[in-house]
Chain A
Amino acid sequence: MSISAKPALVCPAGSLRALTLAIDAGADAVYLGLKDATNARNFAGLNFDDAQVREGVRYAHARGRQVLMALNTYADARDIGPWQRAVDRAAELGADALIVGDTAVMAYARRVQPQMRLHLSVQASATTYEAIEFYRERYGISRAVLPRVLTMQQVAHVIRNTSAEIEVFGFGSLCVMVEGRCALSSYVTGQSPNTAGVCSPPSAVRWEEKGDGGVDARLGGVLIDHYAADEPRGYPTLCKGRFDVQGERDYALEEPTSLNTLAMLPQLIEAGVKAFKIEGRQRSPSYVAEVTRVWRAAIDAATSGARYSVQPGWSAQLTRWAEGQQHTLGAYDRPWR
């Protein structure tokens, strides 16, 4: 495999510290968001102001790397100004591309900043080549990030039928639902990824100690899970709770687990995947550094021409950072469905 075929490693930056660590650990690009509701990780203490974006861009560009700006929530009908200004700020601050999901934002970017490169966010829910081609023909998107719902064969089929570059999720928290089409969080809390850039927001979480040493985890007052005294506690993301269906208590939607596609890396590269995204702008800088390091090594190994196998050290590293200390290949692997 030639060097030019090497896919890009795209890593999360929730802070300038995470950004520099990701670059140092070998990220080809980092993605970040502004400190407001215009991006899908709108958490307190996270994200960038203009000076930090400028500094991040300087750091990345000095090392030949790229900065992508996530502008991937849906513009609020009451005031779409912040989304339009974010497009302009991205251009002024020197971002290499915008990651967008809203047609209102894409149209504005095309009209006002026509030179700006656009990546279709996973929040746009483009699950077919027809959908991706729609955004490419209409808004000139150069790359699309695929929702985490397609099988390996479906990913390959999409790539064969679109001229947009395809980026897939490599590692991180797993959305069991199609991104951009999930209103579970707003059903319970009034805030969703599409409208507020949050899912199961901390402000709606309540922990209640029970007499037996266990704890109830509530979201918007709804009991999402109960942990016995000796059970590890997870964050009450509502699709990862334990519920009762026909008298059986279980993880009815999804278990607390992380997506990890290292095992499929050669097949995904062979299929023509142009970029791998690491999830986790809300995670710590050390998470970003270590996961980036493992993925840098894996992509380099998979494109070196030598026989590829997942190194035990990589898996051990990633497991430390995985939700519930569990991995899955997710939808890429048919039985998951």
Chain B
Amino acid sequence: MTQDDKTLALTVGPLQYWWARPAMMAFYAEIAESQAQRVVLGEVVCSRRNEYKFDDWVDLARDLKAAGKEVVLATQALVMSEAELRTMRRIAEQDEFAVEAGDASALRVLWQAAQARPGRAGFTVGPHVNVYSREALQEHALLGATRWVPPLELALDAIARINPGASRVAGPAGEVQTEVFVFGRMPLAFSARCFTARHHRLNKDECEFRCQADADGLLLKTGEGDAFLVLNGIQTQSAALHCLLDEGQALRAAGAQAVRLSPCSRGFARVLALFDGVYNRGLDATVARSEMLELGLPGALVNGFAHRQAGMQAATA
């Protein structure tokens, strides 16, 4: 797939929730037909979500590749057990698909693979690997990274300084591309504790897989009834959705070549079309925003992080 300088390529981020197989199949069938150029697959939150095994993800990856998508396999963000390390290694060591590193364990395996097989395709530094400066991105490029998804809390002005279009960080596998998270509930924190199980008064080891009931996570409200956060197993998300629909120019100015949209259970294919329309096809952002508000999305739209404000703020671009 070719891309001119001005296009912001759309990436579908990894699914953060545990959806039953039919819902997931229907979702990715829709993605196969969508404007998305890349799709990131894999269980990134909890290894107890066992309906989809490594081979199932690879099967799905092949289907999406056949449909013309670039596919990336992501490793889990929080790795603690030997079983989780084994899964991470299977993903990081395979050569059929590109890889997104979820943590430093994966960085080590990817670095070793790059040394053992020079010329191996570069990998993506995921949003939960801490890269906050150009020097840190340079360190990851030296390991073989060719794509960077900045941490959610990093402002666009920082992203612009770290990897500007005019002077990209580069390493042995090539220049680093920037892919910015522009849509969806924000993964804000990880814990050893499963908050969903805790809410249901269950231990993590006997969680009864309750998170399957929450297609967009389990809403946590303040004492005043305001939607605040979302419990998603061991992950805590924002209740509001990050939305940089109005920041197309600012994203390009910051050196972004791609944008990441994080799946939600309703209206996602339309969201992809609207972002593509606004960023790449001249659709009016105000029109797109009004339509988005009619889609039944799970929360309000905010953009504070992009503008160096509290993430929950809705700032004017």
Contacts and interface: CB of A to CB of B under 8 A. Distances in A.
Interface residues of A, number: 67
Question: Could you tell me the dominant secondary structure of chain A's interface residues?
Answer: mixed
B136 A102 contact: yes
A220 B222 contact: no
Given A101-B130, A134-B111, A190-B310, A225 B223 contact: yes
Question: Could you tell me the dominant secondary structure of chain B's interface residues?
Answer: mixed
A335 B161 CA distance: 45
Given A125-B130, A127-B78, A337 B188 contact: no
A261 interface: no
B189 interface: yes
B312 interface: yes
A38 interface: no
B121 interface: no
Interface stretch (A19-27, A86-94, A238-246): A238-246
A333 to B, nearest CB: 11
Contact of A246 (B80, B131, B218, B304): B218
Contacts of B158: 76-78
Contacts of A239: 189
A177 interface: yes
A130 B135 contact: no
Contacts of A242: 223
Interface string B204-215: 110000000000
Contacts of B175: none
A189 B308 CA distance: 10
Contacts of A245: 199, 218-221, 231
A248 B220 CA distance: 10
A81 to B, nearest CB: 11
B80 A134 contact: no
B153 A195 contact: yes
Contacts of B229: 184, 243
Most central of A126, A128, A220 by chain B CB within 10 Å = A128
Nearest to B89: A130
Contacts, number: 208
A252 B132 CA distance: 30
B309 interface: yes
Given A181-B77, A181-B189, A244 B220 contact: yes
Given A78-B158, A181-B77, A102 B133 contact: yes
Contact of B151 (A104, A134, A183, A331): A183
Given A154-B80, A183-B152, A252 B199 contact: yes
A178 B191 contact: yes
Given A177-B191, A245-B219, A124 B104 contact: yes
B108 A181 contact: no
B272 interface: no
Contacts of A77: 132-134, 154, 158, 161-162
Query: Which 5 A-B pairs have CB atoms at the shortest separation, nearest pair first?
Result: A149-B192, A134-B108, A104-B135, A130-B105, A131-B104
Interface of A: 74-78, 80, 101-104, 107-108, 124-128, 130-131, 133-135, 137-138, 149-151, 154, 157, 176-178, 180-184, 186-190, 192, 194-195, 220, 222-226, 239, 242-246, 248-249, 252-254, 331, 334-337
